[in-house]
Structure 1
Amino acid sequence: MTKHIRTFFLVLLAPLTAFAEVKVAPESNGLAPEVPGLNLKDKLYQLEAQLADLEKPFISAAPADKQDGLVVGQLGVDGGDRAAIEAFANDLAAAAKDEKAGNVDSMLISYRGKLIFESYYRRGRANFPHYQMSITKSYTALAIGRAIQLGLLNMDDLDKPAIGFLKELDTAKLIAGADTITLAQAMQMSSGIRLAAEKEKELMRNPSQLKGLGELQAYLQHSAPIPAMPREFKYQEPDTAIAMQVLNAVVPGGAEEFIKTELLGRMSITQYHWEHAISGLPKSAAGSSILSRDMLKFGQLILNRGKWNGEQLIPEAYVTRATTPSQINEHYGFFWWVDDFAVGGKTYHSFQGRGAGGQFIFMFPELDLVAVITSHNKGMGDTLQTLQQRILPAFVQK
């Protein structure tokens, strides 16, 4: 169903003619470039594609203190090889190799809890929330963690059948094994849901039936039977829909308000946009738009084991499990990627949020380092390679 739901939204997000040419506010007083008069109710995905490239990049080794919850510092003074990072930043500003790589819009770096580097290129703007693809899944996982911290779920619930929280499902019509899919398995992309392409097309002919729990009812009613564990890892939308539906069922006021107040609001994230899925709930597979500085906050939250400004927003035990690979995929936790990078003969562990087009949050606990990159590439770009070659060495002690 993923392909057809995406097609449905592409129709909704067809280019608007109402947008005039977007003008960039001139840089002044060393402030990062912004889009004036931005309305967060606009369809930011479309508006972002219409942004003119910056005439020159904005590169700062001493980011401004915006009183947005981030502690700021200075590259070099507070750590890092300034010359190496600035050289990389200038390389990022060069003409892109092609549509698949090099179209970087921002790069920010936090070291030892301080934002020490901030840069914007092309469509990057300090006040414009960048569209997020699959990294939206990672934010959804954090919302589940917030619900656990507040006692609306508990850690044991992760290993219980997800449909047990969804009382309005017509369980009599569900396929065999639907009652064995746990919330944890869904967030590890191992639900086992498999829907035939022809059935997807048939369901999409009447999208109104997919409102509310109808979307998940369709997945669990028309899938092939769910096999026993261990199941095959499959990166797909149905698994993310399970997580969002469970969240919506257990939190007061529903998932959208909960995410706004209890996750984003707690970290002073207010300049954002989050599209709705065909179900009417916040999209969980892709569809959020987040500021680059706010993306950095998510990385810092993970490095701080769920704490933000001294408050435990997410249980430490949940953060540990969310960033620990499952038996299904050695590089994937709860909608967060896990990998190692080698620099100078040593390996550094990392957690990552990744989105197609080139949105990344990289966290390196051993170095207390967070790097955020946004792009508009076709595919993932080459960030996974360039980060290892250009950013990590600047923070590894010689």
Structure 2
Amino acid sequence: MRTFGKWLGRTLLALLILAAALWVWKREEITRVLAVNALFAADKIVHNFSHMDSMFLSTPVEKGDGPVSELVIGQSLTLPATYETWVKARSVTGIVVLKDGLLRHEAYYLGTGPDDLRISWSVAKSFLAALMGVMIENGTIASLEDPVTQYAPELRGSAYDGATIEDVLQMESGVAFNEDYLDFWSDINKMGRVLALGQSMDSFATNLSQRAAKPGSAWQYVSIDTHVLSMVIRGATGRPIAPLLSEHIIAPMGFEHTPYYVTDGHETAFVLGGLNISTRDYARFGQMIAQNGLWNGTQVVPAAWIAESTRPSAKTVKGNTQYGYQWWMPADAGQGEFFARGVYGQYIYINQPLGVVIALNSADKKFREAGVSLTNTAMFRAIAEAAQ
């Protein structure tokens, strides 16, 4: 018994030493994994969504040296009667409403403010779509009909082999991918751990081998598709996404704050959800899109590209929310009504006929509950009508 006790004591000591050595060796990676596990905790989510760079690797998206494009204050907005109830129910942290480019309403909640750089989640996809439009316009990428492997040859032999750029833009790549955030072993959560551990997002994409459908034959929302679009752009230009987005989109617009991307361990931007921007600057981007790509006399994004991106072209189920090139449209949308959307209640809602842009940041843990998306759309429409 005494011998066993000595053996057990030595074993425990060895395990403690091994754990300590592992902590020293992999402290940053372990810290990021722990951060991922606590990212959406009820008592931390609001703070975390404004401080992603304290938990993950990141890179700036330089805003340039030009003057800030000031938001001119317009007439105060009379908000819908249910607005305050909606704000509390949806855990809204920041909202900016523009009407014809004038600032009609701005408010911050839950301890946040105008200087907070809030995580975009999938709103980032619409920023990358704008950059893709510039790449097509300037001839860096020849055609949307080109296979993604033409610009990202490392995807040959993967589930993306045979998909065109347009297939991927419309979320019709056909790649089998589980997007269930509540399933620990889903592909989207595996991808999150790849990011936290500082591993390669490119490798994660190239290692996907299973298909759910033939490319271009069916719509399925697959977030990793957006990363593949970044592989195409990087392959075509030989440059990272952050400086490209800065040069072609952010710097020409006169943002107030310098955005940043969360990155993997290879300094590759997490383009499908890792862009962090202030609520005002989200609104500025939305206003540029609402103006068909024109900003202060400069055509930032081609007007024809915006028109094509924001029409319902993907093979979504009739009666459901519609999709274009990394932009969403309500099921009953009229022409010129569309939005960027991210999990936990991030939106840039645009109604071109009414001249309204709404940028919304939230920490809504109930965002997937039935009816929430429709409630949000209804509130955006009510605010847009009230702004007239």
The TM-score with structure 2 as length reference comes to: 0.72
5+ residue gaps, structure 1, are 1-6, 25-37, 46-66, 77-81
Shift of 1:209: 11
Letter in 1 for 2:78: A
State the match for 1:42 in structure 2. Answer: 54
Higher alpha-carbon Rg: 2
Runs of 5+ unmatched residues, structure 2: 1-29, 58-66
What is aligned with 1:287?
Answer: 274
Deviation string, structure 1 residues 121-163 (Cα, Å, up to 9, x no partner):
1133110111121111111211212323443224xx2121111
Structure 1 position 238, deviation (Å): 2.3
Instruction: Check whether the contact 1:211–1:280 (CA below 8 A) recurs between aligned residues.
Output: no
Q: 1:215-251: CA deviations, max 9, x gaps?
A: 23212xx2237525422x2112221111111111122
What is the identity percentage for the equivalent residue pairs of Structure 1 and Structure 2?
Answer: 20
User: Would you say the 8 A contact 1:158–1:182 is kept in 2?
Assistant: yes
- Cross-structure match for 2:26: none
Q: Identify which of 239, 244, 260 aligns with 1:258.
A: 244
* Alignment match of 2:203 (pick from 198, 214, 218): 214
Q: Which segment drifts farther, 205-214 or 268-277? A: 205-214
1:124 to 72, 90, 112: 112
The one-letter code sitting in structure 2 at the alignment partner of 1:188 is: Q
Question: Displacement, 1:10?
Answer: 4.6
- 1:104-183 matched pairs, under 5 angstroms: 104-154=92-142, 157-167=143-153, 169=154, 171=156, 173-174=157-158, 178-183=160-165
Q: 2 CA distance for matches of 1:91 and 1:202? A: 36
CA contact (8 A) 1:272 1:290 kept: yes
Query: Does the 8 A contact of 1:89 with 1:119 survive in 2?
Result: no
1:87-138 Cα deviation digits (max 9, x unpaired): 6665566xx3xxxx33111121111122222111113311011112111111
In structure 2, C-alpha distance between the alignment counterparts of 1:89 and 1:204, rounded to whole Å: 34
Matched, 1:392 2:381: no
Partner residue of 2:323 out of 324, 332, 342: 332
Work out the CA distance in 2 between the residues paired with 1:117 and 1:230: 43
Aligned equivalents of 2:190, 2:104: Cα separation in 1: 52
Higher normalized contact order (CA 8 Å, seq sep 6+, divided by chain length) = 2
Query: What is the RMSD computed on CA atoms of the aligned residues?
Result: 3.7
Classify the secondary structure of the residue corresponding to 2:68. coil
The answer to whether the Cα contact below 8 Å between 2:149 and 2:155 also exists between their aligned partners in 1 is no
Counterpart in the other structure of 1:374: 361
Matched-pair contact (CA < 8 Å) for 2:172–2:314: no
1:194 aligns with 2:173: no
1:181 Cα deviation from its structure 2 partner: 0.6
Query: CA 1:187/1:205 → structure 2, altered by over 3 Å: closer, same or farther?
Result: closer
| Corresponding residue number in structure 2 for 1:28 | none
Query: What is residue 341 of structure 2 aligned with on the other side?
Result: 354
